[in-house]
Amino acid sequence: MFIARVTGSVVSTQKIDTMTGHKLLVVEPYRLEGEKRESLVTTGRTFIAVDTLGSGEGDYVLITQGSSARLTPETKELPIDAVIIGIVDTVHIDRAAVYARNES
Amino acid sequence: MFIARVTGSVVSTQKIDTMTGHKLLVVEPYRLEGEKRESLVTTGRTFIAVDTLGSGEGDYVLITQGSSARLTPETKELPIDAVIIGIVDTVHIDRAAVYARNES
Amino acid sequence: MFIARVTGSVVSTQKIDTMTGHKLLVVEPYRLEGEKRESLVTTGRTFIAVDTLGSGEGDYVLITQGSSARLTPETKELPIDAVIIGIVDTVHIDRAAVYARNES
Amino acid sequence: MFIARVTGSVVSTQKIDTMTGHKLLVVEPYRLEGEKRESLVTTGRTFIAVDTLGSGEGDYVLITQGSSARLTPETKELPIDAVIIGIVDTVHIDRAAVYARNES
Amino acid sequence: MFIARVTGSVVSTQKIDTMTGHKLLVVEPYRLEGEKRESLVTTGRTFIAVDTLGSGEGDYVLITQGSSARLTPETKELPIDAVIIGIVDTVHIDRAAVYARNES
Protein backbone atom coordinates (compact mmCIF):
# COMPACT_ATOMS: atom_id res chain seq x y z
CA MET A 1 0.00 0.00 0.00
CA PHE A 2 1.05 3.61 -0.18
CA ILE A 3 0.04 6.90 1.41
CA ALA A 4 -1.66 9.36 -0.92
CA ARG A 5 -3.37 12.73 -0.63
CA VAL A 6 -6.82 13.15 -2.13
CA THR A 7 -6.66 16.09 -4.53
CA GLY A 8 -9.84 15.87 -6.59
CA SER A 9 -12.50 13.78 -8.27
CA VAL A 10 -13.40 12.36 -11.68
CA VAL A 11 -16.83 12.06 -13.32
CA SER A 12 -17.50 9.61 -16.14
CA THR A 13 -20.96 8.90 -17.57
CA GLN A 14 -19.98 6.55 -20.40
CA LYS A 15 -18.52 3.69 -18.43
CA ILE A 16 -18.61 -0.05 -17.72
CA ASP A 17 -22.08 -0.68 -16.22
CA THR A 18 -20.86 -2.12 -12.92
CA MET A 19 -18.97 1.12 -12.21
CA THR A 20 -22.22 3.07 -11.74
CA GLY A 21 -22.47 4.71 -8.33
CA HIS A 22 -18.85 4.32 -7.34
CA LYS A 23 -16.96 7.44 -6.27
CA LEU A 24 -13.70 8.02 -8.16
CA LEU A 25 -11.08 10.21 -6.49
CA VAL A 26 -7.84 11.68 -7.76
CA VAL A 27 -5.02 10.71 -5.41
CA GLU A 28 -1.35 11.67 -5.31
CA PRO A 29 1.15 9.25 -3.74
CA TYR A 30 3.36 10.67 -1.00
CA ARG A 31 6.70 9.51 0.39
CA LEU A 32 8.83 10.28 3.42
CA GLU A 33 11.92 12.38 2.99
CA GLY A 34 14.59 14.09 5.08
CA GLU A 35 17.38 12.70 7.24
CA LYS A 36 14.92 11.40 9.83
CA ARG A 37 12.12 10.93 7.32
CA GLU A 38 10.38 13.86 9.00
CA SER A 39 8.73 15.23 5.85
CA LEU A 40 5.79 13.78 3.94
CA VAL A 41 6.29 14.94 0.34
CA THR A 42 4.54 14.32 -2.95
CA THR A 43 5.89 11.95 -5.60
CA GLY A 44 4.25 14.00 -8.34
CA ARG A 45 2.38 10.99 -9.65
CA THR A 46 -1.41 10.84 -10.15
CA PHE A 47 -3.76 7.87 -9.71
CA ILE A 48 -7.52 7.36 -9.63
CA ALA A 49 -8.95 5.22 -6.78
CA VAL A 50 -12.42 4.08 -5.73
CA ASP A 51 -13.54 5.48 -2.37
CA THR A 52 -16.08 3.81 -0.09
CA LEU A 53 -15.08 5.55 3.16
CA GLY A 54 -16.19 9.13 2.60
CA SER A 55 -12.69 10.48 2.00
CA GLY A 56 -12.50 14.16 1.09
CA GLU A 57 -10.05 16.49 -0.62
CA GLY A 58 -6.97 17.07 1.53
CA ASP A 59 -7.27 13.76 3.36
CA TYR A 60 -4.28 11.42 3.46
CA VAL A 61 -5.41 7.89 2.66
CA LEU A 62 -4.05 4.36 2.25
CA ILE A 63 -4.29 2.94 -1.27
CA THR A 64 -4.28 -0.75 -2.17
CA GLN A 65 -3.46 -1.63 -5.76
CA GLY A 66 -4.02 -4.67 -7.97
CA SER A 67 -6.42 -7.58 -7.55
CA SER A 68 -6.65 -6.90 -3.78
CA ALA A 69 -8.58 -3.70 -4.60
CA ARG A 70 -11.51 -6.03 -5.22
CA LEU A 71 -11.37 -7.45 -1.68
CA THR A 72 -13.66 -4.90 -0.01
CA PRO A 73 -17.43 -5.45 0.41
CA GLU A 74 -18.33 -2.73 -2.10
CA THR A 75 -15.74 -3.44 -4.80
CA LYS A 76 -16.07 -7.19 -5.35
CA GLU A 77 -16.04 -8.07 -9.05
CA LEU A 78 -15.43 -4.45 -10.12
CA PRO A 79 -12.94 -3.78 -12.94
CA ILE A 80 -10.77 -1.60 -10.69
CA ASP A 81 -7.11 -1.73 -9.63
CA ALA A 82 -6.99 0.82 -6.79
CA VAL A 83 -9.13 1.42 -3.70
CA ILE A 84 -8.89 3.52 -0.54
CA ILE A 85 -8.72 1.13 2.43
CA GLY A 86 -8.26 3.71 5.20
CA ILE A 87 -8.11 7.40 6.04
CA VAL A 88 -4.78 8.13 7.74
CA ASP A 89 -4.95 9.55 11.28
CA THR A 90 -1.26 9.59 12.08
CA VAL A 91 2.10 8.63 10.59
CA HIS A 92 4.78 8.04 13.19
CA ILE A 93 8.50 7.85 12.42
CA ASP A 94 10.81 7.05 15.31
CA ARG A 95 7.91 7.63 17.71
CA ALA A 96 7.44 11.23 16.49
CA ALA A 97 4.34 12.12 14.52
CA VAL A 98 5.22 13.40 11.06
CA TYR A 99 1.54 13.70 10.24
CA ALA A 100 -1.56 13.96 12.44
CA ARG A 101 -4.94 14.50 10.81
CA ASN A 102 -6.43 16.86 13.36
CA GLU A 103 -3.46 19.17 13.35
CA SER A 104 -3.13 19.55 9.62
CA MET B 1 -6.56 3.42 -12.33
CA PHE B 2 -5.05 6.32 -14.22
CA ILE B 3 -6.22 8.99 -16.64
CA ALA B 4 -4.94 8.63 -20.20
CA ARG B 5 -5.52 10.31 -23.54
CA VAL B 6 -6.37 8.15 -26.54
CA THR B 7 -3.82 8.94 -29.25
CA GLY B 8 -4.18 6.16 -31.81
CA SER B 9 -4.93 2.55 -32.61
CA VAL B 10 -3.15 -0.73 -33.33
CA VAL B 11 -4.00 -3.45 -35.84
CA SER B 12 -2.74 -7.01 -35.47
CA THR B 13 -3.87 -9.90 -37.68
CA GLN B 14 -1.58 -12.64 -36.34
CA LYS B 15 -2.79 -12.83 -32.77
CA ILE B 16 -4.15 -15.07 -30.02
CA ASP B 17 -7.55 -16.31 -31.33
CA THR B 18 -9.64 -14.93 -28.48
CA MET B 19 -8.38 -11.41 -29.26
CA THR B 20 -10.31 -11.32 -32.56
CA GLY B 21 -12.78 -8.44 -32.76
CA HIS B 22 -11.42 -6.46 -29.83
CA LYS B 23 -10.46 -2.82 -30.45
CA LEU B 24 -6.92 -1.93 -29.36
CA LEU B 25 -6.18 1.72 -28.66
CA VAL B 26 -2.93 3.56 -28.00
CA VAL B 27 -3.24 5.50 -24.75
CA GLU B 28 -0.91 7.95 -23.02
CA PRO B 29 -1.09 8.31 -19.22
CA TYR B 30 -1.58 11.85 -17.90
CA ARG B 31 -0.88 13.35 -14.49
CA LEU B 32 -1.78 16.56 -12.67
CA GLU B 33 0.86 19.23 -12.30
CA GLY B 34 1.17 22.83 -11.09
CA GLU B 35 0.94 24.37 -7.64
CA LYS B 36 -2.81 23.74 -7.46
CA ARG B 37 -2.68 20.70 -9.76
CA GLU B 38 -4.41 22.83 -12.37
CA SER B 39 -2.71 21.28 -15.40
CA LEU B 40 -3.30 17.84 -16.90
CA VAL B 41 0.03 16.88 -18.54
CA THR B 42 1.38 13.83 -20.31
CA THR B 43 3.76 11.37 -18.65
CA GLY B 44 5.29 10.52 -22.01
CA ARG B 45 4.55 6.83 -21.56
CA THR B 46 2.63 4.67 -24.06
CA PHE B 47 0.26 1.77 -23.36
CA ILE B 48 -2.18 -0.30 -25.40
CA ALA B 49 -5.66 -0.89 -23.92
CA VAL B 50 -8.81 -2.73 -25.02
CA ASP B 51 -11.79 -0.43 -25.64
CA THR B 52 -15.42 -1.53 -25.37
CA LEU B 53 -16.98 1.93 -24.88
CA GLY B 54 -16.49 3.58 -28.27
CA SER B 55 -13.63 5.83 -27.13
CA GLY B 56 -12.08 7.96 -29.86
CA GLU B 57 -8.81 9.78 -30.45
CA GLY B 58 -8.48 12.80 -28.17
CA ASP B 59 -10.76 11.38 -25.48
CA TYR B 60 -9.48 11.23 -21.91
CA VAL B 61 -10.26 7.82 -20.44
CA LEU B 62 -9.84 5.80 -17.25
CA ILE B 63 -7.57 2.75 -17.56
CA THR B 64 -7.62 -0.29 -15.28
CA GLN B 65 -4.53 -2.49 -15.30
CA GLY B 66 -3.78 -6.07 -14.27
CA SER B 67 -6.16 -8.96 -13.68
CA SER B 68 -9.05 -6.53 -13.07
CA ALA B 69 -8.94 -5.68 -16.79
CA ARG B 70 -10.71 -9.00 -17.26
CA LEU B 71 -13.64 -7.98 -15.03
CA THR B 72 -15.78 -6.37 -17.75
CA PRO B 73 -18.50 -8.28 -19.65
CA GLU B 74 -16.57 -8.22 -22.93
CA THR B 75 -13.07 -8.97 -21.65
CA LYS B 76 -13.60 -12.02 -19.44
CA GLU B 77 -10.91 -14.64 -19.99
CA LEU B 78 -8.98 -12.45 -22.47
CA PRO B 79 -5.16 -12.37 -22.23
CA ILE B 80 -5.13 -8.61 -21.63
CA ASP B 81 -3.78 -6.41 -18.83
CA ALA B 82 -5.38 -3.01 -19.60
CA VAL B 83 -8.94 -1.91 -20.40
CA ILE B 84 -10.80 1.39 -20.68
CA ILE B 85 -13.48 1.45 -17.96
CA GLY B 86 -14.81 4.98 -18.56
CA ILE B 87 -14.60 8.07 -20.75
CA VAL B 88 -13.76 11.06 -18.56
CA ASP B 89 -16.32 13.91 -18.52
CA THR B 90 -14.70 16.12 -15.90
CA VAL B 91 -11.71 16.20 -13.57
CA HIS B 92 -12.22 18.48 -10.58
CA ILE B 93 -9.43 19.68 -8.30
CA ASP B 94 -10.40 21.80 -5.32
CA ARG B 95 -13.91 22.18 -6.81
CA ALA B 96 -12.52 23.77 -10.02
CA ALA B 97 -12.69 21.84 -13.27
CA VAL B 98 -9.22 21.23 -14.70
CA TYR B 99 -10.74 19.26 -17.55
CA ALA B 100 -14.26 19.20 -19.03
CA ARG B 101 -14.92 17.08 -22.10
CA ASN B 102 -17.31 19.42 -23.87
CA GLU B 103 -15.04 22.40 -23.56
CA SER B 104 -11.89 20.77 -24.78
CA MET C 1 -0.32 -4.06 -22.92
CA PHE C 2 2.64 -2.39 -24.58
CA ILE C 3 4.34 -2.42 -27.96
CA ALA C 4 7.77 -4.03 -28.05
CA ARG C 5 10.34 -4.97 -30.65
CA VAL C 6 11.71 -8.51 -30.67
CA THR C 7 15.50 -8.26 -30.45
CA GLY C 8 16.69 -11.76 -29.59
CA SER C 9 16.13 -15.04 -27.82
CA VAL C 10 17.09 -16.86 -24.63
CA VAL C 11 17.96 -20.52 -24.10
CA SER C 12 17.72 -22.18 -20.71
CA THR C 13 18.16 -25.93 -20.14
CA GLN C 14 17.96 -26.00 -16.33
CA LYS C 15 14.42 -24.74 -15.81
CA ILE C 16 11.03 -25.42 -14.25
CA ASP C 17 9.74 -28.59 -16.00
CA THR C 18 6.57 -27.05 -17.40
CA MET C 19 8.65 -24.46 -19.28
CA THR C 20 10.04 -27.12 -21.64
CA GLY C 21 9.29 -26.41 -25.30
CA HIS C 22 8.24 -22.80 -24.84
CA LYS C 23 10.04 -20.17 -26.96
CA LEU C 24 11.51 -17.29 -24.94
CA LEU C 25 12.15 -14.03 -26.79
CA VAL C 26 13.99 -10.88 -25.76
CA VAL C 27 11.68 -7.89 -26.26
CA GLU C 28 12.25 -4.15 -25.88
CA PRO C 29 9.27 -1.90 -25.02
CA TYR C 30 8.69 1.04 -27.38
CA ARG C 31 6.80 4.30 -26.87
CA LEU C 32 5.50 7.08 -29.08
CA GLU C 33 7.35 10.38 -29.12
CA GLY C 34 7.34 13.68 -30.99
CA GLU C 35 4.83 16.53 -31.10
CA LYS C 36 2.31 14.42 -33.01
CA ARG C 37 3.54 11.13 -31.56
CA GLU C 38 4.93 10.35 -35.00
CA SER C 39 7.99 8.40 -33.83
CA LEU C 40 8.09 4.93 -32.31
CA VAL C 41 11.17 4.92 -30.06
CA THR C 42 12.73 2.48 -27.62
CA THR C 43 12.38 2.80 -23.85
CA GLY C 44 15.74 1.08 -23.37
CA ARG C 45 14.20 -1.56 -21.13
CA THR C 46 14.52 -5.34 -21.67
CA PHE C 47 11.96 -8.06 -20.95
CA ILE C 48 11.65 -11.76 -21.76
CA ALA C 49 8.29 -12.99 -23.11
CA VAL C 50 6.87 -16.34 -24.22
CA ASP C 51 6.01 -16.50 -27.92
CA THR C 52 3.37 -18.81 -29.41
CA LEU C 53 2.75 -16.87 -32.66
CA GLY C 54 5.99 -17.38 -34.57
CA SER C 55 7.30 -13.87 -33.92
CA GLY C 56 10.77 -13.15 -35.29
CA GLU C 57 13.57 -10.68 -34.62
CA GLY C 58 12.63 -7.19 -35.78
CA ASP C 59 8.89 -7.76 -35.39
CA TYR C 60 6.89 -5.30 -33.32
CA VAL C 61 4.58 -7.22 -30.98
CA LEU C 62 1.97 -6.67 -28.28
CA ILE C 63 2.96 -7.87 -24.82
CA THR C 64 0.56 -8.74 -22.00
CA GLN C 65 1.99 -8.82 -18.48
CA GLY C 66 0.94 -10.38 -15.18
CA SER C 67 -1.55 -13.17 -14.51
CA SER C 68 -3.27 -12.52 -17.86
CA ALA C 69 -0.17 -13.93 -19.59
CA ARG C 70 -1.54 -17.32 -18.57
CA LEU C 71 -4.83 -16.75 -20.45
CA THR C 72 -3.69 -18.14 -23.83
CA PRO C 73 -4.25 -21.79 -24.87
CA GLU C 74 -0.53 -22.63 -24.72
CA THR C 75 0.43 -20.80 -21.53
CA LYS C 76 -2.21 -21.96 -19.05
CA GLU C 77 -0.68 -22.81 -15.69
CA LEU C 78 2.82 -21.74 -16.75
CA PRO C 79 4.97 -19.76 -14.28
CA ILE C 80 5.28 -16.81 -16.68
CA ASP C 81 4.37 -13.12 -16.43
CA ALA C 82 4.69 -11.95 -20.06
CA VAL C 83 3.39 -13.30 -23.37
CA ILE C 84 3.15 -12.05 -26.95
CA ILE C 85 -0.56 -11.75 -27.83
CA GLY C 86 -0.19 -10.27 -31.33
CA ILE C 87 2.25 -9.26 -34.04
CA VAL C 88 1.68 -5.59 -34.88
CA ASP C 89 0.69 -4.79 -38.49
CA THR C 90 0.09 -1.06 -38.12
CA VAL C 91 0.11 1.68 -35.51
CA HIS C 92 -2.04 4.66 -36.46
CA ILE C 93 -1.86 8.06 -34.74
CA ASP C 94 -4.32 10.70 -35.87
CA ARG C 95 -5.21 8.47 -38.86
CA ALA C 96 -1.59 8.49 -40.12
CA ALA C 97 0.43 5.28 -39.94
CA VAL C 98 3.51 5.70 -37.75
CA TYR C 99 4.38 2.05 -38.29
CA ALA C 100 3.38 -0.43 -40.99
CA ARG C 101 4.90 -3.90 -40.93
CA ASN C 102 5.30 -4.40 -44.68
CA GLU C 103 7.05 -1.10 -45.19
CA SER C 104 9.55 -1.43 -42.40
CA MET D 1 10.31 -9.61 -2.98
CA PHE D 2 12.52 -6.78 -1.87
CA ILE D 3 14.48 -5.81 1.25
CA ALA D 4 13.10 -2.83 3.17
CA ARG D 5 13.83 -1.05 6.42
CA VAL D 6 10.98 -0.43 8.84
CA THR D 7 10.91 3.32 9.55
CA GLY D 8 7.56 3.94 11.20
CA SER D 9 3.89 3.13 11.56
CA VAL D 10 0.49 4.32 10.40
CA VAL D 11 -2.77 4.57 12.34
CA SER D 12 -6.15 4.68 10.61
CA THR D 13 -9.49 4.48 12.41
CA GLN D 14 -11.84 5.00 9.46
CA LYS D 15 -11.02 1.96 7.37
CA ILE D 16 -12.38 -1.13 5.64
CA ASP D 17 -13.80 -3.30 8.45
CA THR D 18 -11.62 -6.34 7.79
CA MET D 19 -8.50 -4.22 8.34
CA THR D 20 -9.25 -3.86 12.06
CA GLY D 21 -6.43 -5.14 14.26
CA HIS D 22 -3.79 -5.36 11.56
CA LYS D 23 -0.49 -3.54 12.17
CA LEU D 24 0.53 -1.18 9.37
CA LEU D 25 4.21 -0.31 9.10
CA VAL D 26 6.03 2.28 7.00
CA VAL D 27 8.80 0.53 5.05
CA GLU D 28 11.54 1.87 2.78
CA PRO D 29 12.93 -0.39 0.02
CA TYR D 30 16.70 -0.85 -0.03
CA ARG D 31 19.05 -1.96 -2.79
CA LEU D 32 22.67 -3.09 -3.02
CA GLU D 33 25.25 -0.69 -4.38
CA GLY D 34 29.01 -0.43 -4.82
CA GLU D 35 31.43 -2.33 -7.06
CA LYS D 36 31.00 -5.52 -5.04
CA ARG D 37 27.46 -4.69 -3.94
CA GLU D 38 28.87 -4.16 -0.46
CA SER D 39 26.50 -1.37 0.57
CA LEU D 40 22.81 -1.64 1.40
CA VAL D 41 21.32 1.77 0.49
CA THR D 42 17.85 3.26 0.44
CA THR D 43 15.85 3.73 -2.75
CA GLY D 44 14.07 6.72 -1.23
CA ARG D 45 10.67 5.18 -1.85
CA THR D 46 7.98 4.65 0.81
CA PHE D 47 5.46 1.81 1.13
CA ILE D 48 3.01 0.64 3.78
CA ALA D 49 2.98 -3.10 4.61
CA VAL D 50 1.03 -5.33 7.01
CA ASP D 51 3.16 -6.91 9.73
CA THR D 52 2.32 -10.18 11.49
CA LEU D 53 5.84 -11.03 12.73
CA GLY D 54 6.49 -8.38 15.36
CA SER D 55 8.84 -6.32 13.21
CA GLY D 56 10.11 -3.12 14.78
CA GLU D 57 11.56 0.17 13.64
CA GLY D 58 15.07 -0.27 12.26
CA ASP D 59 14.54 -3.91 11.27
CA TYR D 60 15.31 -4.97 7.73
CA VAL D 61 12.47 -7.09 6.39
CA LEU D 62 11.37 -8.97 3.27
CA ILE D 63 8.28 -7.56 1.55
CA THR D 64 5.98 -9.50 -0.78
CA GLN D 65 3.73 -7.45 -3.05
CA GLY D 66 0.55 -8.11 -5.00
CA SER D 67 -1.99 -10.92 -4.60
CA SER D 68 0.62 -13.09 -2.85
CA ALA D 69 0.42 -10.71 0.13
CA ARG D 70 -2.84 -12.50 0.92
CA LEU D 71 -1.14 -15.91 1.17
CA THR D 72 -0.24 -15.76 4.87
CA PRO D 73 -2.50 -17.20 7.60
CA GLU D 74 -3.39 -13.75 8.99
CA THR D 75 -3.90 -11.85 5.74
CA LYS D 76 -6.22 -14.12 3.76
CA GLU D 77 -9.00 -12.16 2.06
CA LEU D 78 -7.64 -8.80 3.24
CA PRO D 79 -7.62 -5.87 0.76
CA ILE D 80 -3.83 -5.48 1.01
CA ASP D 81 -1.01 -5.58 -1.53
CA ALA D 82 2.09 -5.75 0.68
CA VAL D 83 3.06 -7.92 3.66
CA ILE D 84 6.23 -8.60 5.65
CA ILE D 85 7.15 -12.29 5.16
CA GLY D 86 10.41 -12.31 7.11
CA ILE D 87 12.77 -10.32 9.31
CA VAL D 88 16.22 -10.33 7.69
CA ASP D 89 19.07 -11.83 9.74
CA THR D 90 21.84 -11.61 7.18
CA VAL D 91 22.45 -10.56 3.58
CA HIS D 92 25.47 -12.23 2.02
CA ILE D 93 27.13 -11.07 -1.20
CA ASP D 94 30.01 -13.15 -2.51
CA ARG D 95 30.07 -15.01 0.83
CA ALA D 96 30.70 -11.79 2.79
CA ALA D 97 27.98 -10.43 5.04
CA VAL D 98 26.88 -6.96 3.94
CA TYR D 99 24.26 -6.94 6.68
CA ALA D 100 23.94 -8.89 9.92
CA ARG D 101 21.09 -8.07 12.29
CA ASN D 102 22.94 -8.51 15.56
CA GLU D 103 25.83 -6.30 14.55
CA SER D 104 23.79 -3.40 13.24
CA MET E 1 10.11 -12.10 -17.16
CA PHE E 2 13.50 -10.48 -16.93
CA ILE E 3 17.13 -11.58 -16.91
CA ALA E 4 18.94 -11.10 -13.59
CA ARG E 5 22.31 -11.97 -12.13
CA VAL E 6 22.44 -13.80 -8.80
CA THR E 7 24.60 -11.72 -6.47
CA GLY E 8 23.94 -13.12 -3.00
CA SER E 9 21.57 -14.67 -0.52
CA VAL E 10 19.33 -13.73 2.39
CA VAL E 11 18.72 -15.58 5.67
CA SER E 12 15.61 -14.98 7.77
CA THR E 13 14.68 -17.04 10.82
CA GLN E 14 11.60 -15.11 11.97
CA LYS E 15 9.33 -15.61 8.99
CA ILE E 16 5.95 -16.81 7.78
CA ASP E 17 5.87 -20.55 8.58
CA THR E 18 5.34 -21.75 5.02
CA MET E 19 8.58 -20.02 3.95
CA THR E 20 10.69 -22.51 5.93
CA GLY E 21 13.22 -24.35 3.76
CA HIS E 22 12.97 -22.10 0.74
CA LYS E 23 16.20 -20.60 -0.60
CA LEU E 24 16.12 -16.81 -1.00
CA LEU E 25 18.58 -15.27 -3.44
CA VAL E 26 19.54 -11.66 -4.11
CA VAL E 27 19.14 -10.96 -7.84
CA GLU E 28 19.94 -7.89 -9.94
CA PRO E 29 17.94 -7.27 -13.13
CA TYR E 30 19.99 -6.81 -16.32
CA ARG E 31 19.10 -5.18 -19.63
CA LEU E 32 20.61 -5.06 -23.11
CA GLU E 33 22.43 -1.94 -24.21
CA GLY E 34 24.53 -0.69 -27.12
CA GLU E 35 23.68 0.04 -30.75
CA LYS E 36 23.22 -3.66 -31.52
CA ARG E 37 22.18 -4.56 -27.98
CA GLU E 38 25.49 -6.33 -27.65
CA SER E 39 26.04 -5.59 -23.95
CA LEU E 40 24.24 -7.11 -20.99
CA VAL E 41 24.34 -4.41 -18.27
CA THR E 42 22.91 -4.04 -14.80
CA THR E 43 19.87 -1.91 -14.04
CA GLY E 44 21.17 -1.26 -10.53
CA ARG E 45 17.99 -2.58 -8.96
CA THR E 46 17.82 -5.34 -6.31
CA PHE E 47 15.18 -8.03 -5.82
CA ILE E 48 14.87 -11.18 -3.72
CA ALA E 49 13.63 -14.34 -5.48
CA VAL E 50 12.95 -17.93 -4.42
CA ASP E 51 15.26 -20.49 -6.06
CA THR E 52 14.34 -24.13 -6.63
CA LEU E 53 16.87 -24.89 -9.42
CA GLY E 54 20.20 -24.75 -7.61
CA SER E 55 21.20 -21.35 -8.99
CA GLY E 56 24.49 -19.98 -7.68
CA GLU E 57 26.17 -16.58 -7.37
CA GLY E 58 27.20 -15.24 -10.78
CA ASP E 59 24.52 -17.19 -12.67
CA TYR E 60 22.21 -15.30 -14.99
CA VAL E 61 18.64 -16.42 -14.40
CA LEU E 62 15.09 -15.78 -15.58
CA ILE E 63 12.77 -14.24 -13.00
CA THR E 64 8.97 -14.43 -13.03
CA GLN E 65 7.09 -11.89 -10.92
CA GLY E 66 3.61 -11.65 -9.46
CA SER E 67 1.02 -14.37 -8.92
CA SER E 68 2.71 -16.57 -11.56
CA ALA E 69 5.62 -17.02 -9.14
CA ARG E 70 3.32 -19.46 -7.34
CA LEU E 71 2.92 -21.66 -10.44
CA THR E 72 5.92 -23.92 -9.85
CA PRO E 73 5.64 -27.28 -8.02
CA GLU E 74 7.61 -26.04 -4.99
CA THR E 75 6.09 -22.57 -4.61
CA LYS E 76 2.34 -23.24 -4.72
CA GLU E 77 0.49 -21.27 -2.04
CA LEU E 78 3.65 -19.47 -0.86
CA PRO E 79 3.45 -15.73 -0.05
CA ILE E 80 6.07 -14.87 -2.69
CA ASP E 81 6.09 -12.60 -5.73
CA ALA E 82 9.31 -13.63 -7.51
CA VAL E 83 10.81 -17.00 -8.49
CA ILE E 84 13.68 -18.21 -10.66
CA ILE E 85 12.18 -20.24 -13.54
CA GLY E 86 15.40 -20.96 -15.46
CA ILE E 87 19.18 -20.62 -15.46
CA VAL E 88 20.22 -18.80 -18.65
CA ASP E 89 22.56 -20.70 -21.00
CA THR E 90 22.68 -18.20 -23.86
CA VAL E 91 21.23 -14.86 -24.91
CA HIS E 92 21.26 -14.32 -28.68
CA ILE E 93 20.73 -10.96 -30.35
CA ASP E 94 20.66 -10.92 -34.15
CA ARG E 95 21.97 -14.51 -34.13
CA ALA E 96 25.13 -13.49 -32.21
CA ALA E 97 25.57 -14.67 -28.63
CA VAL E 98 25.83 -11.73 -26.24
CA TYR E 99 26.02 -14.13 -23.32
CA ALA E 100 27.01 -17.81 -23.10
CA ARG E 101 27.18 -19.45 -19.69
CA ASN E 102 30.20 -21.67 -20.30
CA GLU E 103 32.33 -18.88 -21.65
CA SER E 104 31.63 -16.38 -18.90
> pLDDT per residue over C70-90, tens digit each?
999 999 999 999 999 999 999
Give how far the C-alpha of residue E102 lies from the chain's centroid of Cα atoms, to the nearest Å: 18
Domain that holds residue D91: 2-103
- Taking an 8 Å cut-off on Cβ atoms, the answer to whether C94 and B7 are in contact is yes
- CB neighbour list of residue B87: distance below 8 Å, 6 or more residues apart: A12, A13, A14, A15, B53, B55, B59, B60, B61, B62, B101
Q: Exposed, middle or buried, A43 (CB in 10 Å: 0-12/13-18/19+)?
A: middle
**Do C47 and E1 touch, CB atoms closer than 8 A?**
yes
- Which amino acid, one-letter code, is at E6? V
pLDDT in tens, chain C (104 residues): 999 999 999 999 999 999 999 999 999 999 999 999 999 999 999 999 999 999 999 999 999 999 999 999 999 999 999 999 999 999 999 889 999 998 75
pLDDT in tens, chain D (104 residues): 999 999 999 999 999 999 999 999 999 999 999 999 999 999 999 999 999 999 999 999 999 999 999 999 999 999 999 999 999 999 999 889 999 998 75
Between B and C, how many residue pairs show a Cβ–Cβ distance under 8 A? Answer: 109
Q: How far is CA A88 from CA A59, A80, A99, D4, in A?
A: 8, 22, 9, 21
Counting as contact any 3 or more CB pairs under 8 A, the partners of A are B, D
- Taking an 8 Å cut-off on Cβ atoms, the answer to whether A86 and D14 are in contact is yes
- Which amino acid, one-letter code, is at E3? I
Residue E81's CATH number: 2.40.50.220
> pLDDT per residue over E13-36, tens digit each?
999 999 999 999 999 999 999 999
- Taking an 8 Å cut-off on Cβ atoms, the answer to whether D64 and E80 are in contact is yes
Domain count, chain E: 1
> pLDDT per residue over A44-95, tens digit each?
999 999 999 999 999 999 999 999 999 999 999 999 999 999 999 999 998 8
Give the span between the Cα atoms of B51 and B23, in whole angstroms: 6
Q: Does E43 touch chain D (CB under 8 A)?
A: no
* Complex ipTM over 0.90: yes
**Partners of D100 in the beta sheet?**
D90
Residue of A nearest to B33 (CA): A44
For A103, the 3-state DSSP assignment is helix
Question: Which of C30, C68, C75 is nearest residue B81 as measured by Cβ atoms?
Answer: C68
Q: How far apart are the first and last CA of chain E?
A: 22
C-alpha Rg value of chain A to the nearest Å: 15
